[in-house]
A and B are shown apart, each in its own frame.
Chain A
Amino acid sequence: MERDRRLRAPASLSSLGDLSAFVASCLEEGGHEPRRVGEVGLCVEEALVNIASYAYPEGPGEVTVTCRETAEGDLVIEIEDEGIPFDVLAREDPDVRAGLDERQPGGLGIYLIKRLMDVVAYRREGGRNILTLVVKAPPGRRSAGPGS
């Protein structure tokens, strides 16, 4: 991947298909296996659902997804919105050992992101929420250097 690839879309569930396909194409270009593509697609959905639900209480907004490959072959995915400040990583993890009666709906989406991604980071910058997901290079490419 020579440069950043970027997709901007409405911050609503109607964008799920486009965003998933966009991120999948970035991963496939980087040689990531289908299992990993599915896991990252899930994390992108969870992030989008969160933004669509909470970021823009005043009305419609947008979400921007950027894919960038590092020299080591890792894929860095940034998911941005211009909505109200919301640090998804500040949320407490749900108790995944709780039984059916104790289980309350919610909280699992962010938890899945944390568990499935190699690195997850949040920052607030210039009025934007930026969630960064890092997908380590696929095993076959890990030792390959830049330009290989």
Chain B
Amino acid sequence: MEIEKRKEGGVLIASVRGRIDAVTAPDFDQAAAEIVAAGEKTLILETGGLEYISSAGLRSILALAKALKAREGRVVFAGLTGGPKNVFKISGFETIFGAYDTVEEALKNL
């Protein structure tokens, strides 16, 4: 799993690639902890390059979302596709977080 961060119009966008499974979820948690520690409120997770996510990854995302919500922030998703999109749908995560096709669309809806 790799995470690359950038800012667009003051909004943090984290691009996640590869797999978030039970083995790599702690790496995601660490990146998430850095984002929270930096005082960020709003985050777009760009997941076009996310190939696989299991319940361990969903758990990490839930924890991150709860931490951001505690400071009235939120996380939205852009570019979910394939297996991860289906996992999000089954888990109800698409509804909870809002999932957009592109980062541009996500930015417009923040």
What residues of chain A have their CB less than 8 Å away from a CB belonging to chain B?
13, 16-17, 35, 38-39, 41-42, 45-46, 48-49, 96-101, 103, 105-106, 108-109, 111-112, 115-116
Contacts and interface: CB of A to CB of B under 8 A. Distances in A.
Contacts of B56: 45, 49, 109
Contacts of B21: 16, 45
Contacts of A112: 54-55, 87, 90-91
B33 interface: no
Nearest to A104: B62
B110 interface: no
A106 B86 CA distance: 18
B82 A109 contact: no
B11 interface: no
Q: Main secondary structure on chain B at its contact with chain A? A: helix
Interface residues of B, number: 25
Given A16-B22, A99-B96, A42 B90 contact: no
B65 A100 contact: yes
Contact of A108 (B58, B95, B97): B58
Given A45-B54, A49-B56, A103 B87 contact: no
Given A100-B69, A105-B62, A106-B59, A13 B92 contact: no
Given A100-B66, A112-B87, A38 B52 contact: yes
Contact of B87 (A42, A97, A101): A42
Contacts of B97: 100
Given A100-B69, A111-B90, 18 more contacts: A13-B22, A16-B21, A35-B83, A42-B54, A45-B21, A45-B54, A46-B55, A96-B92, A97-B95, A100-B96, A103-B62, A105-B63, A108-B91, A111-B91, A112-B87, A112-B90, A115-B90, A116-B90
